[in-house]
DNA sequence: AAGAATCTACTACATTCGTAGAAGAAAGTC
DNA sequence: GACTTTCTTCTACGAATGTAGTAGATTCTT
């Protein structure tokens, strides 16, 4: 499942509120996105065509629901970025997280904790993906 | 500077070997990419048009050089992914790194170290971006 | 019920993207 | 020098993307 940037906007709105009508989605789009109602409808129709969302009618109004799992979709997108953009390396992802200071103290500490856990696990089964 | 997926392939090849001719780039493209020579040329022409690469002629052959900084280009791309795909959150980036086990033991340990450093820094200036 | 507001389905249209092919010029090979 | 290989520049072309407009059907409002 490959989504365009505009489609991600819609999906993110839908994941936030589900199910939702086209208008609700339009209203909950992120700040810098200002689309005509019919633009939103077009995107939804396209997403329905590629089975990324389901469309259910009640009265003359359609309600939309995501059919793809958010976590999964994101993982695929990230993997794609690693492959295509980062040329397969995850190191740039780490520097992005750390050097570009996208993390709050809380996030940083949480990440350290998660890593320690993974570290313990990694040692026990001795895996080394690199 | 916005690059398409195909353009990333070219740029990554160019960053690996710089300067390079169209044929060298073609030959050093990543495994799953098999483009006709003229396809590579087309991409290079387009990249030159958008000032992402410079083209210099020697004899009847062009040599190409990246004009955009790799680190920078990647950072922008990642920021864009965070904004559009991850809806502004970095948490999914962390789980991707950790849960999807993209890290070798070495990378994991390195990451922990980097985080500790950043952590110390974060404490001293008391910043908390979240 | 008449008019206003809202929905839907269809159509549109310029750009960008992926992916070359053709034809002619230049260079390498024997 | 003739033939082969390789480069370059131009042109092409369908699919995907971003971004709606129109017109007709429905529903709400008073």
What would the pLDDT profile of B70-122 be if each residue is shown by its tens digit?
999 999 999 999 999 999 999 899 899 888 876 888 888 888 888 888 766 65
pLDDT on residue A126: 44
- The nearest alpha carbon in chain A to B6 belongs to A84
Retrieve residue A16's tokens: 């936030």
Q: Are residues A15 and A77 in the same domain?
A: yes
pLDDT over threshold 60, residue A111: yes
Q: Flag whether pLDDT at B64 surpasses 90.
A: yes
State the alpha helices, DSSP H only, in chain B: 5-16, 22-27, 37-49, 70-84, 91-99, 105-125
Do the domain assignments include residue A130?
A: no
- CA dist A27 and A112 (Å) reads 37
- Measured in residues, chain A has a length of 130
pLDDT for B96 equals: 93
Provide mean pLDDT across the span A35-53: 98
Inter-chain CB proximity B98 and A77 less than 8 Å: no
Q: Residues of A with CB below 8 A from B92's CB?
A: 71, 74, 78
Does the pLDDT at position A115 exceed 90? no
Q: What CATH number should be reported for the domain holding residue A58?
A: 1.10.10.10
Q: CA–C1' span, A14 to D8, in Å? A: 49
Q: How far apart are CA A122 and CA A106, in angstroms?
A: 24
The pLDDT of residue A28 is 96
pLDDT at B48: 98
To the nearest whole percent, how much of chain B has pLDDT over 70?
A: 88
Cα Rg of chain B, angstroms? 19
- Residues B77, B34, single domain; the answer is no
Tell me, yes or no, whether A79 and A19 share the same domain.
yes
Inside any domain, residue B82: yes
Residues B97 and B109 in one domain: yes
In a domain, A17, yes or no: yes
Q: Is B120 on the interface with A (CB under 8 A)?
A: no
Instruction: pLDDT band for A51, please (50, 70, 90 cuts).
Output: very high
Same domain, B35 and B62: yes
Which residues neighbour A19 within 8 Å (Cβ) at sequence distance 6 or greater?
A: A56, A63, A64, A65
**Any strand D atom closer than 7 Å to A63 CB:** no
Domain that holds residue B29: 5-66
- Residue A100: name the closest of B72, B100, B67 by CA: B72
Q: Any residues with CB less than 8 A from the CB of B89 and at least 6 apart, and which? A: B82
Per residue in A71-107, pLDDT tens?
999 999 999 999 999 999 998 998 998 888 768 888 8
**A112 within domain boundaries:** yes
Q: Are residues A44 and A95 in the same domain?
A: no
Q: Indicate yes or no: strand D within 7 A of the C-beta of B38.
A: yes
pLDDT band, residue A27 (cuts 50/70/90): very high
Which chain B residue shows the shortest CA-CA distance from A121?
B105
> What tokens appear for A73 in the block?
């979709």
What is the structure's pLDDT at B127?
45
For B21-27, which contacts have Cβ atoms below 8 Å and span 24 or more sequence positions?
Answer: B21/B61, B21/B62, B21/B63, B21/B64, B22/B62, B22/B64, B25/B64
What's the rounded mean pLDDT across residues B7-24?
98
Q: What is the mean pLDDT of residues B43-72?
A: 97
């Amino acid at each position: 499942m490959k989504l365009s940037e505009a489609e991600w906007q819609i999906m993110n709105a839908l994941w936030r509120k589900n199910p939702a009508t086209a208008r609700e989605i339009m209203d909950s789009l992120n700040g810098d996105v200002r689309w005509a109602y019919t633009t939103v409808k077009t995107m939804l129709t396209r997403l329905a065509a590629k089975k990324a969302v389901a469309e259910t009618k009640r009265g003359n109004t359609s309600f939309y629901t995501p059919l793809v799992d958010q976590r999964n979709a994101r993982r695929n997108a990230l993997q794609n970025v690693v492959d295509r953009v980062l040329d397969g390396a995850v190191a740039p992802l780490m520097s992005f997280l750390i050097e570009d200071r996208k993390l709050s103290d809380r996030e940083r500490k949480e990440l350290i904790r998660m890593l320690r856990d993974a570290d313990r696990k990694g040692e026990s089964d001795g895996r080394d993906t690199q």
